[in-house]
Structure 1
Amino acid sequence: MTDTRTRLHAVLTDLADVVGGIRDDQWRARTPCSEFDVAALADHVVGWSTTFAAGYADPEGRAPGGPTEVGGDRADAIRDAADRMDEALAAGAAQRPLSLGGAAMPGEMALSMILWEYQVHGWDLATALGRPWSPDEAGLEESLAFAPMMLTDDYQGEGKPFAPRVPVADDASAMDRLVAVSGRDPRWS
């Protein structure tokens, strides 16, 4: 759990830098996450990172039922969420369930899900903006082992939250394999 926690903090910190570098002319650009443009995806990652941080910081592990609306500087909001989550996780928050609305999942499982989500959404934003994105290789491999457990037929395919898997070469990079299993084309432009 310590490695996942450390990796998540690094991913969120890097994501804050990507979000902080969005130029005025880029907010309406398309992203590989087809349902979101840059502005909507930035709001999504800010809202959910803040929600997850609130849930882990809550003594009962209760998060708001949906993404938190955050005003102000998006990059600062992500950094704040990263720090709040890291502090709560260091104090053992992943040892209890994380409740989102009416649903709960084991805290460590939620942590793995959050790491995967922000590795992929970080790639979505960085790719849309023409920026580099290179999370820790061990963290990518961790998410490659985790993601298929979450991406069941109920969640992945046409008209579902995740697009169908994209075929890639067996020797593709871990980042390319992770975005492909998550329904994105690593060659997107």
Structure 2
Amino acid sequence: MTVDFDLGPAAQRMAGLLRAVDDEWLTAPTPCERYTLGDLIEHVGGLAGAFTAAATKTAPEPAGSPPPSGDAARLETDWRTRIPERLTALADAWRDPAAWEGVTRAGGVDLPAGVAARVALDELVVHGWDVARATGQPFDCDEAELAACLEFVSGFPRPDPEERPADGGLFGPPVDVPADAPPLDRMLGLTGRDPGWTPA
């Protein structure tokens, strides 16, 4: 099995964004509905661990376990060190061709390993934009990463706008953007984000 892409650049970009977050920003709003910045950061730490386990297939989740949810109250005092370390471990785990073989488990769902890798990439890219936008930091996504994410989210069924997602709004109903909008804006719209979002 070949490695389709490297999660390293997206993981490193996320780590850099997190290291620049001041404590007083943790209660700030984010593009993720009902999630503060602290909640989102804790979610990133959880997903890094979950998708590392999905790559190594050494700690399968119990059936029906939910995806990592964000709760700033669970942030460790040294999260600026620990979460970047987990992000590095995540990228390293998916550099092993064996990680891409067979079926694995993530978010309580059994799925092909290659699909799990794409979910992980999408999480890193989309939530990287969330963190950058919430904190006023620049966000620059590699074209290959963006193309992979756009292809992935384009295959999602459009949810009912009247139904609130079970994940609390991390990925809500798609937001309409112009067909000729930049790829990043189109990808964000498909994940329920307004590309023009700014903190209130």
| TM-score for both structures, normalised by structure 1 | 0.85
CA contact (8 A) 1:123 1:133 kept: yes
Once residues 131 and 17 of structure 2 are traced to their aligned partners in structure 1, the CA distance between those partners, rounded to angstroms, is 7
> Is 1:97 the equivalent of 2:103?
yes
SS in 1 for 2:33: coil
1:3 Cα offset (Å): 4.5
Q: Which of structures 1 and 2 has the larger relative contact order (alpha carbons within 8 angstroms, sep 6+)?
A: 2
CA contact (8 A) 1:115 1:143 kept: yes
Once residues 45 and 126 of structure 1 are traced to their aligned partners in structure 2, the CA distance between those partners, rounded to angstroms, is 13
Q: Structure 1's 77 and 54: CA in aligned 2 closer, same or farther, altered over 3 A?
A: farther
Once residues 77 and 160 of structure 2 are traced to their aligned partners in structure 1, the CA distance between those partners, rounded to angstroms, is 34
Q: Which runs of 5+ in 1 are unaligned?
A: none
Listed one character per residue, the Cα deviations across residues 140-185 of structure 1 (whole Å, up to 9, x for unaligned) are 1111111122x324x5633124322112223322211111111100
RMSD: 2.3
Q: Which residue pairs with 1:15 in the alignment?
A: 14
Once residues 108 and 121 of structure 1 are traced to their aligned partners in structure 2, the CA distance between those partners, rounded to angstroms, is 20
1:55 Cα offset (Å): 2.7
How many residues in Structure 1 have an aligned counterpart in Structure 2? 184
SS in 2 for 1:90: coil
Q: Which residue pairs with 1:88 in the alignment?
A: 93
Q: Which runs of 5+ in 2 are unaligned?
A: none
> Is 1:131 the equivalent of 2:145?
no
CA contact (8 A) 1:16 1:76 kept: no
| TM-score for both structures, normalised by structure 2 | 0.81
What does 1:1-189 align with in structure 2 at a 5 Å threshold? Answer: 2-4=3-5, 6=6, 8-59=7-58, 62-63=60-61, 65=65, 66-67=67-68, 71-91=76-96, 92-100=98-106, 102-149=108-155, 151-153=156-158, 155=159, 157-158=161-162, 159-160=164-165, 161=167, 162-189=171-198
Identity %: 30
Letter in 2 for 1:164: P
Letter in 1 for 2:60: R
CA contact (8 A) 2:38 2:75 kept: no
- When you count helix as a share of all residues, which structure comes out higher? 1
Listed one character per residue, the Cα deviations across residues 40-94 of structure 1 (whole Å, up to 9, x for unaligned) are 00001111111211232234x6246443966343333333223323333222212
